[in-house]
Amino acid sequence: MSMVQARGLTFSYGSSPRPALRDVSFDIRDGELIVLAGPSGGGKSTLLRCINGLIPHFHGGTFGGEVQIAGVDTRTRQPRELASLAGMVFQEPEAQVVANTVEDEIIFGLENLGTLPAVTRKRLEEMLDALSLVHLRNREMTTLSGGERQRVAIAAVLTMQPRVLLLDEPTSQLDPQSAQDVLAKVVELRDEIGLTVMAAEHRLERLAAYADRFMTVGHGCGVRMLEPREAMSEDISAPPVARIGAALGWSPLPLSLAEARPFVRSATDSVSPDRTPISSGDNVVMVQGLRVTLGETRVLNGIDVELQAGEIVALMGRNGAGKTTLLRAIAGLIPGSRASIAFAREAEGREFYRHVAYVAQDPAAMLYASTVRAEILDVLNGTRRDGSVDDAFHEWQLHDIADANPRDLSVGQRQRVALAAMLAGAPELILLDEPTRGMDARTADLLVANLQIRRSAGACVVLASHEVELAARCADRVILLADGDVIDDGPPAKVLSGSLAFGTQANKLFGGDVLTVEDALAFTRSAEFAR
State pLDDT tens for residues 227-284.
999 988 877 788 999 999 999 999 999 999 999 999 987 656 544 444 445 556 788 8
Domain-wise residue ranges, the chain: 2-226, 238-263+505-531, 283-504
Residue 103, CA atoms < 13 Å, CB-side half-sphere? 9
Tell me the mean pLDDT in the region 71-93: 88
Q: What is the mean pLDDT of the chain?
A: 89
Tell me the mean pLDDT in the region 115-129: 93
Answer whether 287's CB lies under 8 Å from 305's CB: yes
- b/e code 271-305 from CB counts within 10 Å (16+ = b): beeeebebbeeeebbebeebebeeeeeebbeebeb
Tell me the mean pLDDT in the region 76-93: 87
User: What distance lies between CA 222 and its chain's CA centroid?
Assistant: 25
Integer angstrom CA distances of residue 311 from 109, 283, 306, 458, 467? 46, 10, 11, 8, 18
The predicted pLDDT at position 339 comes to: 56
Tell me the mean pLDDT in the region 440-454: 94
Answer whether 25's CB lies under 8 Å from 7's CB: yes
SS3 of residue 238 by DSSP: coil
Count CB neighbours of 6 within 10 A: 22
Gap between the Cα atoms of 419 and 398, Å rounded: 11
The predicted pLDDT at position 156 comes to: 92
Residue 204: is its pLDDT beyond 50? yes
Give the pLDDT band of residue 486 (cuts 50, 70, 90): very high
The CATH label, of 2.40.170.20, 3.90.870.10, 3.30.70.1290, 3.40.50.300, for the domain at 2-226 is: 3.40.50.300
Task: Identify any residues that bridge with 225 across adjacent strands, giving them in sequence order.
Answer: 215
The predicted pLDDT at position 203 comes to: 81
Treating both helix axes as pointing N-terminal to C-terminal, what angle do 117-130 and 102-112 enclose, rounded to 10 degrees? 140
The predicted pLDDT at position 521 comes to: 93
**Percent of residues, the chain, with pLDDT higher than 90:** 61
**Which residues lie closer than 8 Å to 340 by C-beta, 6 or more apart?**
287, 288, 289, 290, 291, 329
Tell me the mean pLDDT in the region 464-492: 95
The predicted pLDDT at position 8 comes to: 94
Predicted TM-score (pTM) of the model is 0.88
Tell me the mean pLDDT in the region 65-79: 93
Gap between the Cα atoms of 103 and 137, Å rounded: 5
Same topology between domain 2-226 and domain 283-504: yes
Residue 401: is its pLDDT beyond 80? yes
CATH code linked to domain 283-504: 3.40.50.300
Task: Identify any residues that bridge with 201 across adjacent strands, giving them in sequence order.
Answer: none
The predicted pLDDT at position 272 comes to: 47
Strand-strand pairing, 2-13 and 164-168: unpaired
Tell me the mean pLDDT in the region 499-522: 92
Gap between the Cα atoms of 485 and 342, Å rounded: 19
Query: H or E element: which one contains 246?
Result: helix 240-248
The predicted pLDDT at position 274 comes to: 45
SS3 of residue 207 by DSSP: coil
Gap between the Cα atoms of 171 and 130, Å rounded: 16
Residue 527: is its pLDDT beyond 60? no
Give the pLDDT band of residue 100 (cuts 50, 70, 90): very high
The predicted pLDDT at position 271 comes to: 45
- The predicted-structure confidence for 16-46, as pLDDT tens digits, reads as follows 778 889 999 999 999 999 999 888 888 999 9
